[in-house]
Copies of this chain bind each other. A is one copy, B any other.
Amino acid sequence: MPYFDAASSAPLHPVARQALLASLDEGWADPARLYREGRRASLLLDAAREAAAEAVGCRPDELVFTSSGTRAVHSAVSGALSGRRRVGRHLALSAVEHSSVLHAAAALEADGGSFTEVPVGRSGAVDPSVYGQALRADTALACLQSANHEVGTEQPVAETAEICAAAGVPLLVDAAQSLGWGPVPGRWSLLAASAHKWGGPAGVGLLAVRKGVRFAPRGPADERESGRAAGFENIPAIVAAAASLRAVRAEAAAEAVRLRALVDRIRTAVGSLVPDVEVVGDPERRLPHLVTFSCLYVDGETLLHELDRAGFSVSSGSSCTSSTLTPSHVLKAMGVLTEGNIRVSLPAGTTEEEVDGFLGVLPGVVAEVRQRLGAPAAAAPSPTPQASLVVDALGRRCPIPVIELAKVIGEVPVGGTVTVLSDDEAARLDIPAWCAMREQEYVGEEAADHGSAYVVRRLL
């Protein structure tokens, strides 16, 4: 039963399991104590810190273990902001950061600070020079992920780090998705990562703060982990995290080549096997194991469910799969289609057969969902064309507004317009995306009594 959602959480690596088991008997005592059980725990912790620091590319005394990647990000942001509060309370970040970074920015704003979201291009990457424009005299911290968690696009971290360094602003890199594949290049100042993303256990994050970076931990004092991560250290999990990071890195070069080829196969095949698909993210500068695509006229939640029934576990950034019924902020920032969105992220060891199995099942599943939703195969020309039409899709959720638009576009003459009334958040993204895919003109959005009116002009 193939699991294709490694970007959410990777299955435990065998080395992580072995290291965890081996250290359960040695690593349970308080490493701050001077008796033998404490000294043994302390030795394990020191060795894990050295191994992890080597993999990160920092000094052991620059690295602490947190209880999760989210905690590492939250502590990195609050500590760096606090350490540079005399400079100001402004934060720069890309528009496609992980929610932990976005939430830290929102918390700053709620507390009287401010932030600037740097836009991304259609591939999902920031432009370093555009990033540089977001840096201000009062910018205390800049944040940029090493690679995007939803579409796999690598960010220009090294170039952005240079621009930040020139402006005297420390750069925090969220390396959660990439650290298992290799160290983050360039002169970053802070780095956060999460062990369960590379096959380590849950409960371990990494926070690296380069010497010389001003950093003042927030919250109640705690002596553990240099005062940067409160709470009793989870040493068996830390040992397992460090050991598995080393093991994953040893396999990374070969596995990257193998998975990159499998992902290339998916990228190519999806476009030819499934009509009306948009593969998103940079085709070259990307994580080796991750590909994301969106299918017109498909409901993401049903698609996930049907793929799960067929034995494939994937995730989606479509609005219907979110608890808030809003589409992924990443797809939104990229300006790409959000309906029928599927992210495939292959864990290490994924076989060609598993990928082919997925490609074998996908077209049928998409076709079936489309049929069930009444998606148009091709817009039938109407016998009596009207110059303009209004489609009322109020109260209907993604992908219905786009389906209704596609059904009637053939009923207006070339040059005529279709206006879609919708109160669904995804329509604002997906109607323009549909126009781009169909080479129709997206005229714009107008206020309406309920929701919005989206105007589309037929070009062909």
A residues neighboring B (CB under 8 Å): 1, 3, 5, 8-12, 17, 20-21, 24-25, 27-30, 33-38, 67-71, 74, 77-78, 100, 103-104, 106-107, 194, 196, 201-203, 205, 219-223, 230-237, 301, 304-305, 308, 313-315, 321, 323
Partner of A106 from B21, B67, B205, B220 at Cβ < 8 Å? B220
Chain B residues with CB under 8 A of A233: 202
List 8 A–B pairs whose Cβ atoms lie within 8 Å, in order of A's numbering.
Answer: A3-B29, A5-B29, A5-B30, A5-B33, A11-B28, A12-B28, A205-B231, A237-B237
Residue of B nearest to A10 (CB): B28
- How far does the alpha carbon of A46 sit from the alpha carbon of B188 in the complex, in Å? 40
B220 touches A100 (CB 8 A): yes
Q: Taking A12-B28, A29-B8, A107-B220 as contacts, is the C-beta distance between A194 and B35 under 8 angstroms? A: no
In the complex, what residue of chain B is closest to A38 when comparing beta carbons? B313
A202 engages B235 (CB within 8 Å): yes
Shortest Cβ gap from A119 to chain B (Å):
22
What is the bound-complex CA distance between A133 and B354, given in angstroms?
A: 69
B36 touches A232 (CB 8 A): no
Is the pair B67, A203 in contact by a Cβ cutoff of 8 Å? yes
Asked whether A222 and B28 contact (CB < 8 A) given A36-B308, A69-B231, A203-B234, the answer is no
Query: Are A220 and B67 in touch, CB under 8 angstroms?
Result: no
Determine how close the nearest CB of chain B comes to the CB of A367; give it in whole angstroms.
21
Cα–Cα distance between A38 and B10 once the two chains are bound (Å): 12
* Cβ–Cβ < 8 Å partners of A77 in chain B: 220
CA distance A1 to B20 in the complex (A): 23
Q: How many Å from the CB of A30 to the closest CB on chain B? A: 5
A74 and B218 CA atoms in complex are apart in Å by 12
Can you name the residue of chain B whose Cβ is closest to the Cβ of A74?
Answer: B220
A24 and B12 in contact, given A203-B237, A223-B323, A231-B205 (Cβ under 8 angstroms): yes
In the complex, chain B residues whose CB is within 8 Å of the CB of A104: 220
- Contact of A35 with B237 at beta-carbon distance under 8 Å, contacts A9-B29, A67-B203 already known: no
Contact status B313-A28, CB under 8 Å: no
List the B side residues contacting A103 at CB < 8 Å. 220-222
Give the interface centre of A1, A20, A222, A232 by most chain B CB atoms within 10 Å. Answer: A232
B residues less than 8 Å from A17 (CB atoms): 24
| Cβ contacts under 8 Å, A68 to chain B | 67, 230-232, 234
A33 in contact with B315 given A107-B221, A202-B28, A220-B104 (CB within 8 Å): yes
A303 CB to nearest B CB, Å: 11
Across the interface, A196 reaches (CB within 8 A) one of B28, B35, B38, namely B28
A139 CB, min distance to chain B CBs, angstroms: 19
The answer to whether B36 and A1 touch across the interface, beta carbons within 8 angstroms, is yes
Complex alpha-carbon distance, A328 and B219, angstroms: 23
Residue of B nearest to A313 (CB): B35
CB of A313 within 8 A of CB of B37, answer yes
Give CA–CA (A30, B10) in the complex, Å: 9
A24 contact set on B, CB distance < 8 A: 12, 17, 20
Contacts of A222 in B (CB 8 A): 70, 100, 103
Q: Once bound together, how far apart are the Cα atoms of A17 and B28, in whole Å? A: 12
Contact call B308/A34, Cβ cutoff below 8 A = yes
List the B residue with the shortest CB-CB distance to A221.
Answer: B103
**Chain B minimum-CB-distance residue to A77:** B220
CB pair A3 B37 closer than 8 Å: yes
- Return chain B residues, CB-CB under 8 Å to A223: 323
State whether A234 and B202 are in contact (beta carbons under 8 Å apart), knowing that A29-B8, A219-B74 are contacts in the complex: yes
Contact B9 A232 (CB under 8 A): yes
Taken together as a complex, chains A and B put the C-alpha atoms of A11 and B106 apart, in Å, by: 41
A148 to chain B, nearest CB (A): 18
A28-B9, A68-B67, A223-B323 known; A201 vs B234 contact (CB < 8 Å): yes
